[in-house]
Structure 1
């Protein structure tokens, strides 16, 4: 097992532990979930059983395929495991495109008016331009402090979105404390 394989295994364990088992909260628009996987996502992935019986291995496969490989967070991890971990967790909670958009927005805002790398179109897809921008950012700002600042920007965007979700839909207030306590500053 290489370092990236070990990283995703650890991230999966942490995420599944945080998400817990079967939940069917009346205020959750996603309906029944198991290990954080919504019924709609499980069905689209081919799972036909009861959500309460979703095997952990099935949840891990869904996370790996839809929330790590497809959005190319594995490519981000080759550059920064810390940033990839944040994107993975945010993507599991808000959707991978939202997490990728946060990265694109933060990188563009941190590029010193295009001096370090080109602005990005926040399209929610990590491709060669986004990866090149991340490379440029890390080259200019460094792995240590640069990663920390980028993580703060990503978490600021995430926190603002949580607050907006609770403001727009009061039923989401049931989740706001947990979102802020368990999702911000964890990586």
Structure 2
């Protein structure tokens, strides 16, 4: 699966330069935070971060590094969702949702063993995905997607409840990131 379409959709949705006073992440361009750009070696003004540089960061940091490219071979729709969730919440959070769902859906570890909730896609997580999809068949990926989105939606609501400033973002999160 080529992530170009996914990356373009995120960049289009995130827009150009934003520095919302309620966003603790600070200034962003194309959805890339200043901290992420700096960690990638970008030293310029965030207003000038090119779309191409942002796309390269998304491909490297949010698609390849977490292993979503490897997941896409098994479950492309799930990989696309985790990429999008990872952009918004961090890849480890997105992977954590998947790991929680896999553990809850393994029927008391009778289908495959529980996996560590470590926020990393490694051999145990991939083996669990493979076993789940093999056991559940065609509807398996859809069910995993629903479980991940349910966890994501609950996280957004919790954020808004704990930090009232996040209410400014809740509607957009639910419209753009769920379903």
Superposition TM-score, scaled by structure 2 size = 0.98
For 2:72 and 2:86, how far apart are their aligned partners in 1? 14
Cα displacement (A) at 1:52: 1.1
Shift of 1:48: 1.0
Q: Encode CA deviations 1:114-166: one digit per residue, 9 max, x unaligned.
A: 11111011100100000000000000111x31111110100000000001111
Mapped to 2, the partners of 1:81 and 1:21 lie a distance apart of: 28
Distance between the aligned counterparts of 1:78 and 1:148, measured in 2? 15
What is the CA–CA distance in structure 1 between the aligned matches of 2:129 and 2:89, rounded to whole Å?
21
1:152 alignment partner, SS class: helix
1:1-187 map, 5 Å: 4-5=1-2, 8-142=3-137, 144-185=138-179
Q: Secondary structure at the match of 1:78?
A: helix
Give the gaps of 5 or more residues in structure 2.
none
Q: How far apart, in 2, do the equivalents of 1:31 and 1:140 lie?
A: 44
Mapped to 1, the partners of 2:75 and 2:5 lie a distance apart of 15
How far apart are 1:50 and its partner, in Å?
1.0
Aligned residues: 179
Give the Cα separation in 2 of the matches to 1:145 and 1:135. Answer: 13
Across the aligned residues of Structure 1 and Structure 2, the Cα RMSD in angstroms comes to 0.7
CA deviations on 1:28-50 (whole Å, 9 max, x unpaired) are: 00001011100011011111111
